Amino acid sequence: MVPSIKGSLFGVVVEELQEHLDAGRISRDAAEAMLRPGDLAVIEEKVRAGTWYPIDLHDRVLGLLCRTVGGGRREYLVEGGRRAADALADTGLYAQFEVKGDDSRLREFGRILVTLSGAIYSFSCWRLADSDAETGCFTIDVSDAMALPDLVVARAEGFVERAITNAFGGDWQVTSQRPSSDHVMIEGRRVGS
C-alpha cells in the first residue's frame, strides 16, 4: 500500500484549501502550479473520512498552504495541527481519545494517542517510549517514518499539543526531532506548573 493518511485528517486540510480558493486568497492557477497534475481533481471530490489518501498528496497540499497562506512559517503548520485535533474531536469518531483527569493518567493517554496513529496513518510505527506523570513529560517514538514528511510532523506537534491540553488542561510544550531519516521523536512536557 502507498503510505497514506485517513480522510478524517486529510479532509481538514482539503477544507482549508477550499476555503482559501473560494475566498480568492489562493488562485486556482497558483494551486495548479504548486500541485501535481490530477491533485486538484482528487481534492475537489468529496473526501471520505474512512478512505486512505496518499501522504504525498497531503504533504503537497500542506506545502501549498504553508507557502501561500502561512508565509512559509512552521508555526502555521503547528497551528493547523491544533485545528485538526479540534476538528477530529468534533466529529466524535475517536471518542476513546477523550481521556480526562490528572497527570497520573498520562501513560494511558499516550497509549491511546499512539493507537490512534495506526488508524490515521497506513505506515510507520508509533509507540509511547516514555511518560512520567510526576514531571509531566512524555516521548512518542515513531519508527519506519521515512515516508512521514516533515510538514506532517510539524502538524502532528500541534495535534498532540491540543489533544493533551484538552485532556489534561494547563500548558504543554510539544516538540519533535528526526534523529535519522526513518525515525521521529515527539516530546512533550507540561510547562508553567
d(CA 101, CA 86): 19
In this model, does residue 193 exceed pLDDT 80? no
pLDDT for res 136: 87
In this model, does residue 20 exceed pLDDT 80? yes
Mean pLDDT for 91-113 is: 69
pLDDT for res 183: 98
pLDDT for res 75: 97
Place of cell 525515525: 183
Lowest mean per-residue pLDDT among 46-60, 78-92, 156-170: 78-92
Report yes or no: 97 and 89 within 8 Å, Cβ to Cβ. Answer: yes
The residues that bridge with 177 in the sheet, in sequence order, are 185
Cα 140–141–147 angle (5° rounding)? Answer: 120
Of 43-47, 85-89, 130-134, highest mean pLDDT: 43-47
pLDDT for res 94: 53
1-193 CATH = 3.90.1520.10
d(CA 89, CA 159): 11
pTM over 0.75: yes
Mean pLDDT for 38-52 is: 93
- Would you kindly state where each structural domain of the chain is located, as residue ranges? 1-193
